[in-house]
Amino acid sequence: MSGLIFNLFIFVLASFVGFELISKVPPTLHTPLMSGANAISGITIIGAVIIAGQIDQQVAQIIGFAAIVFATINVVGGFMVTDRMLEMFKKKEDNDG
Amino acid sequence: PNIIQLCYLIATGVFIFGIKRLGSPATARSGNQLAALGMLIGLVVTLFDQQIMSFEYIIGGIVVGSAIGVFAAKKVEMTAMPEMVAIFNGFGGGASALVAWGEFVRISDPTLLGTQDLITIGLSILIGSITFTGSFIAFGKLKGFISGNPITFPGHNIFNALLTVGTLVLVGLLTVNPANQLVFWLLFGIALLLGILTVIPIGGADMPVVISLLNSYSGIAAAMAGFVINNNLLIISGALVGAAGLILTNIMCKAMNRTLTNVLFGAFGGSDSSDSGPAS
């Protein structure tokens, strides 16, 4: 049970950090920020790897495999499109200036 | 194992810096790259976890997922970015639900699972599934596969509320009686349905806000998956995204002179256009 309490502690504290991290974001950054944060939520890939890597149950491994595919799409695709968006953004700034 | 935890700590710090830098135009690109680095650190050190005994599925999954992700990210047009983000987000939420399902299946006798495991498995499946189907509906609305107009039926709001309560009851039932397969599958099914029914009454113009909210959900789903497998990095990163996503959703609503309640339930109020309404 103490494990759960400890986990709750870090969950709540990390949430507070998350709330404070973002304050004034210019509208042009809304979509890239959303996209970048979305890629981070693909962190669940770590859970997927742990499920797919165990050898207790093959069915669970297969579910883990599907989870890895899903999460990897989220992570790889997410960081790449964010980078593409921000690259555009940079160019636009240069043109304006 | 201590080394792994230490690297997780580093990855956490890198994520926090990354998100911070993403919020400002001059540093945004490096922030994104930092976050990607954090992800890489987290993933690589996890491969040294003692629980991991077989690598075929891991390597296979990463290869397939990367190929799809790279292809989609390269091919998408700049104007179609929000719907692409929706799709990626849907997969992320779906992955968290799958992680919880996988853990549920891995323990061959579910009655051996503790109450806290069962609650978090239930919540992870619930939130992950809502994110999954909700994101695909958002994609469909932006892409024009589904009408961008609000699609509702009489009593939609009440029906959704009942379904939400129903899923929470099912999470409770799963905790009490984990051996009951029917409860598990009902929970999964209703959660998937709830994702569709929550997003479909919202107009296409509001989809960016909805995607941002679903992004916050997928963070929370990841954090719940972290509770399930007892992993710090998942809990912290998931909570960060969940909270930051919520703030961003709020900022986006304000930029449109709307409240979140108005966006989510506005289709039921009768006045569907941009009347800002009293904040409730």
Q: How far apart are CA B84 and CA B86, in angstroms?
A: 5
Judged by a CB distance cut-off of 8 A, whether residue B243 touches chain A is yes
Task: Please give the pLDDT value at position B100.
Answer: 95
Within a domain: A1: no
Q: What's the pLDDT at A97?
A: 41
Look-up of token digits 């992870």: B124
In a domain, A17, yes or no: no
Question: Which long-range contacts (C-beta less than 8 Å, at least 24 apart) are formed by A82-87?
Answer: A82/A32, A82/A35, A82/A36, A82/A39, A82/B32, A83/B29, A83/B32, A83/B33, A84/B73, A84/B78, A85/A31, A85/A32, A85/A35, A85/B78, A85/B81, A86/A32, A86/B28, A86/B29, A86/B32, A87/B29
Average pLDDT over residues A56-67: 93
Nearest to B98 among A57, A70, A76 (CB): A70
Mean pLDDT of chain A: 88
Contact B91 A74 (CB under 8 A): yes
Nearest chain A Cα distance for residue B151, angstroms: 25
Cα(B147)–Cα(B145) distance, rounded to whole angstroms?
A: 7
Cβ contacts of A12 on chain B, cutoff 8 Å? 239
Count of domains forming chain A: 1
Is A76 part of any domain? yes
pLDDT digit string (tens) for chain B, length 280 residues? 689 999 999 999 999 999 999 988 888 999 999 999 999 999 999 999 888 888 999 999 999 999 999 999 999 888 888 889 999 999 999 999 999 999 999 887 878 888 888 999 999 999 999 999 999 999 999 888 888 888 888 888 889 999 999 999 999 999 998 888 899 999 999 999 999 999 998 888 888 899 999 999 999 999 999 999 999 999 999 999 999 999 999 998 888 888 888 888 766 433 344 444 444 3
Residue A73 lies in a domain: yes
Question: Does a structural domain hold residue A75?
Answer: yes
Radius of gyration of chain A (CA): 18
Determine, for residues B57 and A52 on separate chains, whether the beta-carbon distance falls below 8 Å: yes
Q: Is residue A46 part of a domain?
A: yes
Report pLDDT for A8: 93
Helix (H), strand (E) at residue B221:
helix B207-229
Q: Is A4 domain-assigned?
A: no
pLDDT (average), residues A17-43: 89
Give domain status of residue A74, yes or no: yes
Interface predicted TM-score of the whole assembly (ipTM), two decimals: 0.90
* Residues near B7 by beta carbon (within 8 Å), at least 6 away in sequence: B41, B42, B45
Q: How far is A64 from chain B (nearest CA, A)?
A: 6
CB-nearest to B247 from A22, A59, A74 is A22
Give the residue numbers spanning the domain of A59. 29-89
- Chain A residue at shortest CA distance from B22: A33
Chain A hits for B28, CB-CB cut-off 8 Å, are 29, 32-33, 36, 86, 89
| Candidates A41, A51, A81; nearest CB to B84 | A81
Q: Which of A2-6, A73-77, B82-86, B126-130 has the lowest mean pLDDT?
A: A2-6
Q: Across the interface, which of A43, A51, A77 has its CB nearest the CB of B106?
A: A51
Contact A39, A72 (CB under 8 A): no
